[in-house]
């Protein structure tokens, strides 16, 4: 699994300062894809060493690590999420922005604090669209709690 880029972001996960890691080799082919370069298998390896480097550099400034994509290797995303939690004694939360319509059965939602599902569909729009097909969940006690409305109301409350 590789990442093409990363950034510190504030909108993707409400109330968190998030290191968003953009994973390449996306298996989806959404019409109107916002990042077509992520459909190619290129970039730097995303593994425990890379995450250790990220945490050493940005760990004091962030509250969350978000895996953007990675649907070609869901079990690997889950493994790295568990690694981030372990390395930071759960201080840093984890999130997964998946393009899959449903959370993969091979993974556990409890391995993440936040999960977004759903491919990008132009006619429905993204999370901030009232017609969106995408869903944003907080994971509470191992259950998915739908908080998609946070993106549409521009509320500041989450979990
Ligand atoms: S999931 Fe994201 S990166 Fe992949 S094709 Fe769809 S819009 Fe593009």
What is the per-residue pLDDT across 64-92, written as a single tens digit (0 to 9) for each? Answer: 999 999 999 999 999 999 999 999 999 99
**Is 159 inside a domain boundary?**
no
**Is 37 inside a domain boundary?**
yes
Please identify which residue in the block is written with the tokens 């409890």. Answer: 110
Q: Which of 20, 35, 67 to mutate to test the pocket of ligand 1 (most atoms within 8 A of CB)?
A: 35
**Is 158 inside a domain boundary?**
no
pLDDT at 34 over 90: no
pLDDT of residue 13: 98
**Is 75 inside a domain boundary?**
yes
Q: Domain total for the chain?
A: 1
Cβ pair 132, 119 in contact under 8 A:
no
Atom 8 of ligand 1, residue of closest alpha carbon: 33
Q: Which atom from ligand 1 is nearest to the alpha carbon of 36?
A: 8
Cα 105 to middle of ligand 1, angstroms? 20
Q: Which atom from ligand 1 is nearest to the alpha carbon of 71?
A: 1
Q: Which run of H or of E encompasses 115?
A: strand 114-117
Q: Which run of H or of E encompasses 77?
A: helix 74-87
Number of residues that this document lists for the chain: 159
Q: Give the separation between CA 135 and CA 99, rounded to whole angstroms.
A: 10
* Crossing angle between the packed helical segments 48-58 and 74-87, to the nearest 10 degrees: 40
The confidence band for 108, taking pLDDT boundaries of 50, 70 and 90, is: very high
Give residue 35's domain range: 2-153
The 8 Å CB, 24+ separation contacts for 83-86 are 83/48, 83/51, 84/51, 84/55
**Is 64 inside a domain boundary?**
yes
Q: Give the separation between CA 53 and CA 48, rounded to whole angstroms.
A: 9
């Amino acid at each position: 699994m590789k990442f093409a880029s990363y950034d510190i972001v504030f909108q993707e996960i409400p109330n968190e300062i998030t290191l968003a890691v953009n994973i390449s080799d996306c298996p989806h082919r959404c019409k109107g894809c916002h990042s077509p370069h992520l459909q190619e298998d290129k970039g730097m390896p995303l593994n425990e060493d890379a995450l250790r480097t990220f945490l050493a550099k940005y760990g004091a400034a962030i509250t969350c690590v978000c895996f953007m994509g990675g649907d070609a290797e869901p079990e690997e995303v889950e493994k790295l999420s568990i690694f981030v939690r372990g390395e930071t004694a759960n201080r840093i939360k984890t999130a997964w922005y998946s393009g899959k319509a449903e959370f993969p059965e091979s993974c556990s939602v409890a391995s993440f604090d936040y999960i977004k599902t759903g491919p990008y569909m132009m006619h429905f729009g993204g999370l901030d669209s009232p017609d969106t097909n995408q869903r944003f969940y907080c994971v509470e006690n191992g259950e998915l709690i739908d908080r998609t409305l946070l993106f549409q109301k521009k509320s500041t409350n989450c979990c």
